[in-house]
Chain A
Amino acid sequence: EAGVAQSPRYKIIEKRQSVAFWCNPISGHATLYWYQQILGQGPKLLIQFQNNGVVDDSQLPKDRFSAERLKGVDSTLKIQPAKLEDSAVYLCASSFLRQGGTEAFFGQGTRLTVV
Chain B
Amino acid sequence: AQTVTQSQPEMSVQEAETVTLSCTYDTSENNYYLFWYKQPPSRQMILVIRQEAYKQQNATENRFSVNFQKAAKSFSLKISDSQLGDTAMYFCAFQADNQGGKLIFGQGTELSVKP
Residue of B nearest to A99 (CB): B101
Chain B, interface size: which category? 20 to 34
Interface: B64 (CB within 8 A): no
Q: How does the 8 Å CB contact mask read for B2-24 relative to A, with 1 for contact and 0 for none?
A: 00100000000000000000000
Interface centre among A3, A41, A101, A111 (most CB of B within 10 A): A101
Say how far B42's CB is from chain A's closest CB, in angstroms: 6
Q: Which residues of B contact A106 (CB under 8 A)?
A: 44-46
Interface: A97 (CB within 8 A): yes
Q: Are B101 and A98 in contact (CB under 8 A)?
A: yes
Q: Are A99 and B50 in contact (CB under 8 A)?
A: no
Known: A41-B108, A42-B108, A93-B45. A100 touches B98 (CB 8 A): yes
C-alpha spacing A106/B45, complex, angstroms: 6
Q: Which residues of B contact A101 (CB under 8 A)?
A: 33, 50, 52, 95, 97
Q: Are A100 and B105 in contact (CB under 8 A)?
A: no
Q: Are B91 and A104 in contact (CB under 8 A)?
A: no
Q: How does the 8 Å CB contact mask read for A78-115 relative to B, with 1 for contact and 0 for none?
A: 00000000000101010101111111101111010000
Q: Which of B46, B91, B101 contacts A100 (CB 8 A)?
A: B101
Say how far A22's CB is from chain B's closest CB, in angstroms: 16
Q: Which residues of B contact A91 (CB under 8 A)?
A: 43, 45
Q: Which residues of A contact B101 (CB under 8 A)?
A: 31, 33, 48, 95, 97-100, 102, 104
C-alpha spacing A105/B43, complex, angstroms: 12
Say how far B111's CB is from chain A's closest CB, in angstroms: 15
Known: A41-B107, A42-B91. A55 touches B100 (CB 8 A): yes
Q: Which of A50, A89, A104 contacts B103 (CB 8 A)?
A: A104
Q: Which of B92-110 contact A (CB under 8 A)?
A: 93, 95-108
Q: List 21 A-B contacts (CB under 8 A).
A: A3-B44, A40-B107, A41-B107, A41-B108, A43-B91, A43-B105, A45-B104, A48-B100, A48-B101, A91-B45, A93-B45, A98-B100, A98-B101, A100-B99, A101-B50, A101-B52, A101-B95, A103-B47, A106-B45, A107-B44, A109-B44
Nearest first, the 6 A-B pairs at minimum CB distance are A42-B105, A100-B97, A106-B45, A109-B43, A98-B100, A108-B44
